[in-house]
Amino acid sequence: MAAPLRFHEFLLRNAPYLSAGVLLTFLSSFGQTFFISVFAGPIQAEFGLSHAGWGAIYMVGTTASALVMVAAGGLSDVLRVRQLGAFVLCGLAAACVLMALNRNYWVLPLSVFALRFFGQGMSTHLAVVAMARWFVATRGRALSIAALGVSFGQALLPLIFVALMVRFDWRMLWLLSAAICLLGAPLLLRLLSQERTPRATSQDVSSTGMDNRHWSRVEVLRTPLFWLMVPSILGPAAFSTAFFFHQLHFATTKGWSLLELVAYFPFFTVMSVLSMLVAGWALDRWGAARLMPLYQLPMVAAFAIFATTASGIGMAAGFLAMALSVGAHAVLPSSFWAEAYGTRYIGAIKSLVMAVMVFGTAIGPGLTGALIDLGIDFDAQGYGIAVYFLLTTLCIWVGVRGARQRLNPRAA
C-alpha cells in the first residue's frame, strides 16, 4: 500500500482540481445571501418593499431555483465540470447584469432566481460533486479546501462592496460582479484542461455506500435516513441565511451600524476556515458518520447568544459558535451522502440535497421577515432557532445510528 501523501504533496499533485473547486465556490458568492443582502437596503428603497415583501420575493425566487436544481443537478453525472461550469459562470454573470439593469418590480423574482440558481445552487453543487467524486481517501481534505472559496468570499466581498457603495451606485457594483464572473469562466477552462470525465472517474475510483452498493436517487427517497436528515439540511440553510439576509435589521436592533457588524465577518471566516480544515482532517480519520451527530450543536449556542447579547465580546462568541457549525457543515454532510449512498449517482443525489438546502434558504428569510413585520425582532427569534437545532441534532443521531451497521467498515 502506498504511503499517504503529505498535505503539501496532496496540494501540489491536485492543484488544478482543487483550484477549480475554490474558484467555483468563491464565485458562487455573488449568488449567496451574504452578498445579495448587502444590497437589501437599496433594493427595498428602490422598489418600496418591507422586510416581509423583500423576504417573500427572495423566497419565491429561491424556491424556484430549488425546484430547477432537482432536474439540472443531475447533469453533473454526465457532463464535464469544465463544460458545465463555464456555462454556469456565464449564467451567473447574466444574472448579475439583470439585477443591475432591472427597473421593474415583477422582474425582481426572476433576478433572484437566476442569482440563486447559477450562484448558490449550481456553482456550489459542481464544486462539491467534483470533490466527492474525484477524491475518496482524501475526500475530507478536498471538500474542506474547495469550500475555502466561499469563506474567502464571505470575508472579503461584503466588506469591500459595503465600502464601495459609499462612492458608487449599487447597480454599477452588480455590473462589476458580472465582469468578475465572466473572467472566471476561461480560468476554469484552463484549470480543467485535462479534467477527468465523470463517468470514467465514477467507475474507476467510485466508493459504495450502505449494503456495499450504489443507490439511485429514487432509492434514496425511500430510505428513512434521508428524511431524518432533511431537518438538518434545512436548518443551517434557513437560519444562517436569515441571519445574513437580515443583517441590516439585526445590526439596528443591537444599536450597531452595518459596517460595524460586517467588520466581524473576517473573524467569522477565519474561524469557519479553521473549523473546515479540522473537520476535513477528522473526516478522513474517523468518517462522517461518527461526526455528524455533533456538528450542529454549536448553532444552539450561537443563536442563544445572538438573542441575549449586544456586546462586542458576546457578538464575537456568537460568530465563533456559528463558524464552528458552518465550517463543519461545508465538509461533513457532502461526504456523508457519498459514504451512505455511494458515488456513482452522487450528482443526482446531491442535486436533491442541494434543492432541499436551497429551499431552506428560501423559507428562512421569508419566515423570519414575516415575524419581524409582526414585531418579533430577529434576535428574539434566536431562542426558537436554538431549540430547532437541538431537534435536528436528535434527528441526525437517530438516522445515523440506524444506518451505521449498513455502512462500509471505514465509514461506520
Predicted confidence (pLDDT) per residue in 173-200, tens digit = 999 999 999 999 999 988 887 765 444 3
Residue 279 amino acid letter: A
Other beta carbons less than 10 A from residue 173's beta carbon: 20
Q: Say what the pLDDT of residue 201 is.
A: 42
Residue, of 207 and 354, whose pLDDT is higher: 354
Q: Say what the pLDDT of residue 204 is.
A: 39
| Exposure string over 104-137, b if 16+ CB within 10 A, otherwise e | eeeebbbbbbbbbbbbbbbbbbbbbbbbbbbbee
Quick one: which of 408, 402, 344 has its CA closest to 211? 408
Find the helix or strand (DSSP H, E) in which 245 lies. Answer: helix 224-245
Measure the CA–CA gap between 17 and 76, rounded to whole angstroms: 15
Measure the CA–CA gap between 358 and 63, rounded to whole angstroms: 7
Q: Does the pLDDT value for residue 164 go beyond 60?
A: yes
Torsion of CA 10, 16, 22, 28, to 10 degrees: -150
Burial class (CB in 10 A: 0-12, 13-18, 19+), 405: exposed
Q: Which three cell numbers stand for residue 202?
A: 465514477
Torsion of CA 221, 225, 231, 235, to 10 degrees: -100
Q: Does the pLDDT value for residue 381 go beyond 90?
A: yes
Measure the CA–CA gap between 331 and 328, rounded to whole angstroms: 5
Q: Say what the pLDDT of residue 200 is.
A: 39
Q: Say what the pLDDT of residue 195 is.
A: 61
- Quote the mean pLDDT of the chain: 83
245-272: average pLDDT: 83
Least confident of 232-236, 354-358, 406-410: 406-410
Predicted confidence (pLDDT) per residue in 285-342, tens digit = 777 788 888 899 999 999 999 998 888 888 899 999 999 998 888 788 877 888 888 8
Predicted confidence (pLDDT) per residue in 36-59, tens digit = 988 988 998 888 887 778 878 888
Q: Where are the alpha helices (DSSP H) in 14-135?
A: 15-27, 33-36, 40-47, 51-72, 81-101, 108-115, 124-134
341-357: average pLDDT: 79
Quick one: which of 126, 144, 115 has its CA closest to 86? 126
Q: Does the pLDDT value for residue 33 go beyond 50?
A: yes
The cell 492543484 sits on which residue?
15
Predicted confidence (pLDDT) per residue in 59-109, tens digit = 888 888 888 887 777 777 767 778 888 899 999 999 999 999 998 888 899
Predicted confidence (pLDDT) per residue in 104-151, tens digit = 888 899 999 999 999 988 898 888 888 877 776 677 778 888 888 888
| 324: helix, strand or coil | helix
Burial class (CB in 10 A: 0-12, 13-18, 19+), 366: buried
